[in-house]
Structure 1
Amino acid sequence: MNTQHYEYQLTLDKIIRKAAQIYPNTEVVHAPPGGPIIRSNYAKEWDRIQRLGSVLEELGAIPGEPGKFGSKIAVLDWNTIMHFELYYGVPMYGAVLHTVNVLLSPEDIIYTMMHAQDDILFINEDFTSLARVATSLIKTIKKVVIMSNKPDHEEVTFDGAEVYWYEDLIRDARPYNFQELSENMVATMMFTSGTTGRPKGTYFTHRQLVLHAMSVALSLSAPPINANIYDVAMPLVPMFHVHAWGLPYIAALTGIKQVYPGRFDWGWVLKTIKEEGVTITNGVPTILYNLLYHPDSPKYDLSGLKFIIGGSALPRGLLEEANRRGIRVVQGFGLTETAPVILLTMEKSNMKDWPEERKREIILSAGLPIPLVDVRVVDENGRDVPRDGKTMGELVVRAPWITREYLGDPEKTRNAWRDDWFHTDDIAVWDSEGYVWIMDRAKDVIKSGGEWISSTRLEDLISTHPAVYEVAVIGAPHPKWGERPVAIVVPKPGQDITEGEIRKYLMELVNEGKMPKWWVPDKVIIVNSELPKTSTGKIDKKALKDRLSITLD
């Protein structure tokens, strides 16, 4: 038997090299609010990514190896072309790209960076103040690189860290000769949104990301999206959130033009969609809401736009308005731990024979498993529930790109990976055709604008007010955000407290960096009777929701 053969490695360089070779003139555009607009292409980006490799070498980044992390490169940035370059250059060098969720509270941002033990920090200049705090607290960070669109820059200093400017480094660097890497090397790292406590760390290898990109690209090329090289993609999922759902990799793999809008300004995004001919984008329902109801929206023809939606349930009214404007909406589902896509509302060949009502309902489902994904909906004993579209169970999943563990947390890892299936903690139903509907979160998480708010953590913060005896936080329906938190507070005996006092107290915690401002409840209800309990003594939130029937404007 001939043993002299090449072991092909599924690494990210295979994606961007091919894009530069086969689609060299296809544009990659950076169009931040107010400009300047940068028009690059895959050939130019490949050159800049090679130079980025030399920059990382100059900064002292250390490549990893299978089973061993390379240097951790943290990034605080919006959806920019520099972020796109880091998506490829850092993992291709052998280091680990840590995309930091800038929507977490400052306290949690510092926590995730400390937990990751980041070595080098790349920041958009908007995050200079936050980076200064990070470098003062996280002693592993010795170097900071500032990314800016401005031709000139002022002197910036950080205690204990050297400061560099991204464009200066790229301009002066030589193209780097990237070495062949093992596909099993860790490429990216990110943290969950912290729905049940502190954010949990996850990571993904080159092989996982390449397979994910291939599977999602294959799915999007089928009806109803029918993606092809004539499309133009604009990621509207923040790039710090689970690889922007893979779109920066998927679009390069398939030779699609990409547009990066910088920090989200919805009037500017609408203008850019029109001027750049964007045909594919993605995001949570709140993003679609912003595109449809922004004051400038009526000025733009959005017909033909294909919107991949996920993160929280798609409201029927929002879908109907999108359809009225000519937008084709496809729903998907995934988690941070699943890189993220595992389900998409793809069409089936026998769908043409289905009643129209059935077809409309399918659009509101989480979809079918994409290629290489296996899912089940199981009861508490791990047995499949009936595929009747009614019987609820937990969604469990297998796929090549699911995170292998939570960083430094073997107990949570064991709880998630049971019987060789990853347990999502999502309650779902499935039907005879294989479509899955997500019914609820097993934990009482609140999804606001596609971002998660931990009800238990918010309860803990409210409970620290000296006059609070008991508190429950539940999610109430909201027409724009999907859900918003509502707090039900019982005062201590003999104490009086008002909604305004609770909100003022929480704003003080916001200012201290204990929680994000958008976690502050939309409504605080003061009650003078004990909250209902379950048989185990826990507050019965379902009973609270049923009793109060809260809706928000």
Structure 2
Amino acid sequence: METPLSPLDFARRARRLYADREAVIDGERRFTYREFFERCDRWSSALQKLGVKPGDRVATIAPNTHAHLEAFYAIPQIGAVIVPINFRLTAADFAYILKHSGAKVVCVHADYLDAVDSIRDQVPGVEHFIAFSGPKVGWTNYEAMLAASSPDFAPAEVVETEMIALNYTSGTTANPKGVMVTHRNTAMNIMGHLMHTRITAADRYLWVLPMFHANGWCFVWTITAVGGRHICIPKADPRLIFETIKSEDVTLLCAAPTVLISIANVPENVRHGAPRGVRVFTAGAPPAAATIERVEGELGWEITHVYGLTEVSPIVTISEPRPEHASLNPAVRAVIKARQGVEYLANAEVRVVDDEGKEVAQDGATMGEIIIRGNAVMKGYYNDPAATAKAIRNGWFHSGDAAVVHPDGYIEIRDRWKDIIISGGENISSVEVEGVLLRHPAVQESAVVGLPHEKWGETPQAFIVLKPGAETTPEALRLFCREHLAHFKVPHGFEFIAELPKTATGKIQKYVLRGGRANITRQ
């Protein structure tokens, strides 16, 4: 007797056990699980009337709202695939992802309707445009659609190895790749969360982490699995976070290290009255030990560091606390918590290996690449067999992250083999930024690397070689980039140099730009 593994099975259980419990809080709107699932069912019914069939893609562009949360149930329970898109991207990025994914329907928050309208002629495959909020000509109103729909729909048969979500992530090339995440992938990740993190029906989860980010690290389904409360806020504003924590008695949240830094730096009058004991899961970039120590010491919150990638659904390790850690000096304990940690149970096997595929010594010094295999690893990159074959070799997913293993078995990332810049939990392709800079009439060559930043973890820094006789300024380049890139991808600094450091074969030596900058000849 086998049944397919899927978050939808956890939803089935929640319907039966938690129908009268409060499920979602979004501003003035509050729904019980019965009301929440009825809304999901009405949307499923409406999508089927629009012609959405199993395997079809339905894209979303929205912040953390109840409607966006409903999408993670309404879409997969009819066998369709949700494509949650990063709302911080540009209209051109929206067009690329909508075309590449083959989205049949796109559902958009009011703040992004104009951006999508501007690229409608570029996405002829999109048949239906649904506005999550706000009336707009040419768009179907979401609430009106639900009100006119019946909660009766035809549920699809779940195949655990088929996609539940198509998550786009920036790689080392300019165009993002579509990560095919299956029902089984997400179900195993959820069970890993539940085994390691003590989440229960008593928890009140604050949506600080964007739902689009690897399906909210699977917390869109995890909280429901135990009958907890989802508390939605539209943006990760530190003041709003504290106000909501206090007013809704929040017990749990996820946040990138950059958000932790902003939380740690709010004025005392804002944080006053915030409850102690709030549990916070952080990932997206290695958090600074000092940040962990400060948040735990000053606020009395409990930080848990987890690690993963979109390609592994997305969490595979946790800096798991051990009894012997409790007696350590807070500063020492924070250093351990800043490590990526040990494997999640049942999710995946994680190793750090050398160039020959042999595991590195557990000495805290010998570096290798993190590789992963098991239940959490993606099905592959959508419509990109070459990238899939490059990432998954001999049954192992190669992360591109360089790490060491400590004597206690805890993994710690030391660097990245890739040139991806992780700023505030967001991936930035240096190649994409360089490509934009090269379109500027004064730029002859450009190289972009990530440099450390106190707030964002790291930020892009551009090194520019100008064309002979050409002139420009850092501010002019910054404005040029802002016209062509999502704002978080714009370099924080621009440095003009006479030539880029290169190998004999002409490859740019980015490690020189990152560390050995004394060797650079400046203009």
Per the normalisation by structure 2, the TM-score is 0.93
For residue 533 of structure 1, the aligned residue among 496, 502, 508 is 502
CA distance in 2, matches of 1:17, 1:352: 39
Q: How many residues align structurally?
A: 514
The separation in 1 between residues aligned to 2:194 and 2:207, in whole angstroms, is: 14
Q: 1:249 and 2:249 equivalent?
A: no
Residues 289, 331 of structure 2: 8 Å contact kept? no
The aligned counterpart of 2:185 is: 208
Distance 2:381 2:35 in 1: 37
In structure 1, the partner of 2:47 is 56
Specify the code of the residue in structure 2 equivalent to 1:252: T
Q: Is the 8 A contact 1:47 1:175 kept in 2?
A: yes
Aligned-pair CA distance for 1:441: 1.5
Distance 1:522 1:11, change over 3 A: closer
After TM superposition, list the pairs within 5 Å mapping 1:298-309 onto structure 2: 298-309=271-282
1:283 aligns with 2:274: no
Q: Note the C-alpha offset of 1:406.
A: 0.8
Q: Is the 8 A contact 1:469 1:490 kept in 2?
A: yes
Other-structure match for 1:184: 161
From 178, 193, 200, the counterpart of 2:170: 193
2:143 paired with 1:167: yes
Change (3 A) 1:44 1:342: same
Indicate the residue corresponding to 1:270 in structure 2.
242
Cross-structure match for 1:27? 22
Asked if structure 2 preserves the Cα contact closer than 8 Å seen for 1:286 and 1:481, the reply is yes
Secondary structure in 2 aligned to 1:119?
strand
What is the CA–CA distance in structure 2 between the aligned matches of 1:99 and 1:407, rounded to whole Å? 15
1:42 pairs with one of 33, 46, 53: 33
C-alpha deviation, 1:506, in angstroms: 2.4
Where does residue 144 of structure 1 map in the other structure? 129
Superposition map of 1:306-385 within 5 A: 306-323=279-296, 324-348=298-322, 351=325, 359-372=333-346, 373-385=348-360
Is 1:524 paired with 2:499? no
CA distance in 1, matches of 2:215, 2:265: 27
> Which position in structure 1 is the counterpart of 2:456?
481
Question: Using the alignment, how far apart are the partners of 1:263 and 1:15 within structure 2?
Answer: 27
User: Which 5+ residue runs of structure 1 have no aligned equivalent?
Assistant: 1-5, 64-69, 222-226
Asked whether the 8 Å contact 1:236–1:244 carries over to 2, the reply is: no
Could you say if the C-alpha distance between residues 269 and 244 of structure 1 is closer, same or farther in structure 2, counting changes exceeding 3 Å?
same
1:102 pairs with 2:87: yes
Deviation at 1:294, TM superposition (A): 3.4
The CA distance in 2 between the partners of 1:242 and 1:532, in whole Å, is 36
1:256 Cα offset (Å):
1.5
Which stretch shows the higher mean deviation, 295-304 or 180-189? 295-304
Once the two structures are superposed, residues 501-546 of structure 1 have per-residue CA deviations (whole angstroms, 9 ceiling, x without a partner) of: 3223323xx2xxx31122222221122x322223543222222233
Q: Distance in 1 between matches of 2:238 and 2:64?
A: 13
Q: Deviation digits for residues 211-268 of structure 1, max 9, x if unmatched?
A: 21111211112xxxxx332221113211111010111211111222221113444322
Percent identity at matched positions?
Answer: 31
- Correspondent of 1:15 among 4, 10, 25: 10
- Is the 8 Å Cα contact of residues 333 and 366 (structure 1) preserved in structure 2? yes
Equivalent position amino acid for 1:74 in 2 = A
CA distance in 2, matches of 1:346, 1:284: 18
Amino acid at match of 1:44: E
**CA distance in 2: counterparts of 1:166 and 1:457, whole angstroms:** 35
Shift in alpha-carbon separation, 1:131–1:461, aligned structure 2, 3 A: closer
By how many angstroms is 1:164 displaced?
1.8
- Which string of whole-angstrom CA distances, capped at 9 and with x for unpartnered residues, describes residues 180-232 of structure 1? 422233211111124432100112222221121111211112xxxxx332221
Q: Find out whether 1:235 has 2:226 as its counterpart.
A: no
How far, CA to CA, are the matches of 2:157 and 2:90 in structure 1? 38
Shift of 1:291: 2.3
- Opposite residue 472 of structure 1, the aligned amino acid is A
CA separation of 1:546/1:209 partners in 2, compared to 1, >3 Å: closer, same or farther? closer
Q: Is the 8 A contact 1:104 1:193 kept in 2?
A: no
Q: Separation in 2 of the partners of 1:480 and 1:302?
A: 24
How far is 1:56 from its partner?
A: 1.3
CA distance in 2: counterparts of 1:310 and 1:146, whole angstroms: 31
* 8 A Cα contact 1:332 1:366, kept in partner: yes
SS in 2 for 1:521: coil
Distance 1:539 1:291, change over 3 A: same
Query: What SS class does the counterpart of residue 470 from structure 1 fall into?
Result: strand
- Matching residue of 1:545: 514
CA contact (8 A) 1:234 1:258 kept: yes
Distance 2:142 2:194 in 1: 31
SS at match of 1:136: helix
